[in-house]
Structure 1
Amino acid sequence: MPEGITAEGLLDNIMEQFADNVPKQKSVSFFEEDKSDSVSSQFNRLFGRQKTIHNIFGGGKSADVLLWRNKKISVGVLASATAIWILFEWLNYNFLSLVCFGLGLGMLAQFVWSNASGLMSRSQSRVPRLVLPQELFVNIATSVGHEVNKALGFLQDVAVGGNMKLFLGAVSSLWFAAIISSWCNFLTLVYIGFVAAHTFPVIYEKYDDQIDDFVYNALDHLRNNYKKLDTGVRSRIPKGQFKGKKHE
């Protein structure tokens, strides 16, 4: 550690930079809207956000689903994810058994279709072939590989970028994710993230002013408490003069 820099000073510097980079927002009550600042508040969102939530999520069909633009589709997607989680987590199905049951039901349906049509009519109807396009698997593999490489590149940039605040935030997030993953399995963790992605954005879009004001007040409160704690700890440390020996 360079001379003249202490651990308290480094932490104080990180908190000061974080607080200075967060734009200030005028306090707004949870039950009253400040109409005079309605125009300026649109450009002073959480952490300097200037885009709408819909544009942040890409502005496409996926954003429409996450923000419940079409409630039938959003409910269907969330219900499908819940059904899959119940099958694997509560009913203790595994992926292979579920695939075998699905294939067995599909074969049974085709068997009944082909034989019933032959009994009812002299000309047996042809069962349609189910063929999945190869481009589907190629696109899935390409998309997954692109996202994985993007995440790895981001972590590498954070590690070698020299931004201490961003580095500490990324390491803390990974540490927090490791603790959460130790409490539940991977499927439950993915399901929790899926439900959170389908609930938090639409709640924030509906109550963004109140949430922004609450976060800013919480950050200010945290900063003030940290300064009081830091001042109290430093005041109890006895100040002395240390005279070092001169080396010839």
Structure 2
Amino acid sequence: MATRLAVVGGGRMGEALVGGLLARRWAEPGEVSIVEARAGRRDELEARFPGVTVVEAPPRAEGVVVAVKPGDVGAACGEIAAAGADRVLSIAAGVPLATLEAALGPLPVVRAMPNTPALVGAGAAAIAAGARAGEDDLVWAEQVLGAVGDVVRVPEALLDAVTGLSGSGPAYVFLIAEALIDAGVVVGLPHDVSRRLALQTLLGAARLLTETGDDPQHLRAGVTSPGGTTAAGLRVLEAGRLRSVLVEAVAAATERSRELGRGA
């Protein structure tokens, strides 16, 4: 009998997906398999997920998630095709649908670009359908990735832009967090206090945006009094081209994603 879901690749993202799906009771432990080549890592996953089958080679599965490094995708897809599956979701960075479909044969394939906040259930992912993938396959992919965050649908041609924005985006935010923490120290705060305040400020601002649905410009105006402290700080950020630099960063990451995709 086929397992309901096989996650090929027991790294951090594969582990996060399994944890999210089990927490949401999308599947029972006995319906899930994790495929992992490293014996030591298999032991860790068995301890983390009692009841989940952890194996070295892919089993026959209703759905398979490819969560291996890009260089291992070809071999993994060959094993998946040999074992059999009803549908495949790939979260391997930069590997195009054409490459996946060539390796998997007639199987429906959905390609995704998630990001690392999925590790704490707060990811942002985009999915694109392959030539043989239908609505049922996309809904299934949304359910799987929805266990660890938000999911949107885009054409594959936009996945490079998704990579530049949300795929690489956490690193931009981490850099901003570093800078805010350092800035607090520069103006006299102890490091631990500065870190606590900076991180809560980032978290609170993000929640305010998502939970109110307000436009960022409107929320920014609401805390910016003429001639006040916030206006003074924003004036420096605008003079330093923060807005333009972020646009340039997303554009550079998008172009690099295109370059890597052409070589995949």
TM-score normalized by the length of structure 2: 0.21
Structure with bigger helix share is 1
Q: Which has the higher relative contact order, 1 or 2, with Cα contacts under 8 A spaced 6 or more apart? A: 1
Task: Give TM-score scaled by structure 1 length.
Answer: 0.21
Greater share of residues in strand: 2
